[in-house]
């Protein structure tokens, strides 16, 4: 299959692209920095130099591909409109990478919610994440192509493309390295569903290679509280102090989006549909076990 992927130099896109190339697919990948071309070719991805704002380029690449994967941004509407324009009427698949912070509740780390979403549960989305939800719905409701939204949770594991690090756990680790204390938002009783990057790759491959996949899928293979992840990071890094930040302190450190939604919220989901319909069987089960046994220590 000829596949066009955005975010080819990133954590998800680079690893997914490399995985699919190794599985025999022909991959062209969007990169905005020409200096990364050789490194992309070395992992089996032919670079296409451009940005998410190059609508004509995105539409042309989508039109010539058998399938399109967006891994650059869960929120960039113009890029999605361009990819849709390129796919219009083709019946081909657009696999969009979304994220479960859209169901995050702003509890500043201090409340454990009992609310767990699966694909049949109406999502509860706050105003700040509404645009992401609407973009997912735009893709799912577009006729003439197969729109698939994979709503990833907290992804962990080492990236095998050009970017080895994910978003949430590496942010805590970098902060701990710099400050000597593992810092989390509030008490850290808030829980996030988690998924290993290798299992994400397997899910994307299943979605792409089946001729009939369409619709919304969560991706998750376990869940942990931030307190549990912080304890595991502290043990792994041999750090004794865990500090509990107020939301204001966390926003000052990480910015509003990361502090409130990525680190301070609950985001608990179950990937029922991928398991039931696609036979997806995640091999990993626990971000805490990965931190304890496999996570690289920061340099």
Ligand X SMILES: NC(=O)c1ccc[n+]([C@@H]2O[C@H](COP(=O)([O-])OP(=O)(O)OC[C@H]3O[C@@H](n4cnc5c(N)ncnc54)[C@H](OP(=O)(O)O)[C@@H]3O)[C@@H](O)[C@H]2O)c1
List residues binding ligand X (CB under 6 A).
7-13, 30, 32-33, 51-52, 71-75, 97, 99, 152, 154-155, 163, 166-167
Dist. CA 33–CA 37, nearest whole Å: 8
- CB of residue 143 vs ligand X: minimum separation in angstroms? 25
Angle value at C-alpha 267, between 214 and 6, nearest 5 degrees:
45
- CB of residue 40 vs ligand X: minimum separation in angstroms? 10
Q: What are phi and psi of 239, to 5 degrees?
A: -110, 135
**Which of 49/144 has CB closer to ligand X?**
49
Dist. CA 198–CA 294, nearest whole Å: 13
Q: What are phi and psi of 113, to 5 degrees?
A: -85, 150
**Which of 155/176 has CB closer to ligand X?**
155
Name the closest residue to ligand X (Cβ): 10
**Which of 181/198 has CB closer to ligand X?**
198
**Which of 10/186 has CB closer to ligand X?**
10
**Tokens representing residue 161 in the block:** 């493309």
- CB of residue 89 vs ligand X: minimum separation in angstroms? 26
- CB of residue 278 vs ligand X: minimum separation in angstroms? 19
**Which of 7/86 has CB closer to ligand X?**
7
CA dihedral sign of residues 295, 270, 137, 112: negative
User: How many other C-beta atoms lie within 10 A of the C-beta of residue 68?
Assistant: 25
**Which of 41/241 has CB closer to ligand X?**
41
**Tokens representing residue 174 in the block:** 């970098």
- CB of residue 62 vs ligand X: minimum separation in angstroms? 15
3-state helix, strand, coil split of the chain in percent (to 5) is 40, 25, 35
Contact 41, 47 (CB under 8 A): yes
Contact 214, 149 (CB under 8 A): no
- CB of residue 240 vs ligand X: minimum separation in angstroms? 28
202-170-165-219 Cα dihedral, nearest 10 degrees:
20
- CB of residue 135 vs ligand X: minimum separation in angstroms? 11
**Tokens representing residue 273 in the block:** 């549909």
Q: What are phi and psi of 72, to 5 degrees?
A: -80, -40
**Which of 76/187 has CB closer to ligand X?**
76
């Amino acid at each position: 299959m000829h596949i066009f992927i955005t975010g080819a130099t990133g954590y998800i896109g680079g690893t997914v692209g490399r995985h699919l190339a190794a599985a025999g697919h022909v991959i062209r990948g969007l990169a905005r920095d020409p200096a990364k071309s050789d490194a992309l070719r070395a992992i089996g991805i032919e670079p296409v130099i451009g940005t998410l704002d190059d609508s004509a380029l995105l539409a042309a690449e989508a039109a010539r591909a058998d399938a399109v994967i967006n891994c650059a941004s869960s929120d960039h509407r113009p890029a999605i409109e361009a990819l849709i324009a390129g796919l219009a009427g083709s019946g081909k698949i657009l696999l969009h990478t979304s994220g479960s912070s859209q169901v995050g509740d702003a509890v500043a780390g201090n409340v454990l919610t009992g609310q767990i979403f699966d694909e049949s549960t109406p999502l509860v989305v706050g105003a700040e994440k509404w645009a992401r939800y609407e973009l997912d719905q735009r893709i799912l409701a577009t006729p003439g192509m197969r729109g698939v939204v994979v709503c990833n949770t907290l992804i962990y594991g080492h990236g095998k493309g050009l970017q080895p690090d994910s978003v949430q756990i590496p942010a805590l680790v970098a902060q701990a390295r710099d400050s000597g204390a593992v810092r989390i938002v509030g008490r850290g009783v808030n829980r996030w569903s988690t998924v290993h990057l290798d299992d994400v790759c397997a899910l994307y491959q299943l979605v792409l290679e089946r001729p009939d996949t369409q619709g919304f899928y969560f991706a998750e293979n376990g869940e942990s509280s931030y307190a549990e992840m912080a304890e595991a990071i502290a043990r792994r890094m041999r750090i004794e102090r865990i500090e509990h930040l107020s939301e204001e302190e966390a926003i000052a450190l990480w910015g509003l989006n990361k502090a409130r939604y990525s680190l301070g919220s609950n985001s608990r989901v179950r990937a029922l549909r991928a398991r039931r319909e696609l036979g997806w069987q995640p091999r990993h089960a626990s971000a805490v076990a990965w931190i304890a046994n496999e996570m690289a220590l920061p340099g």
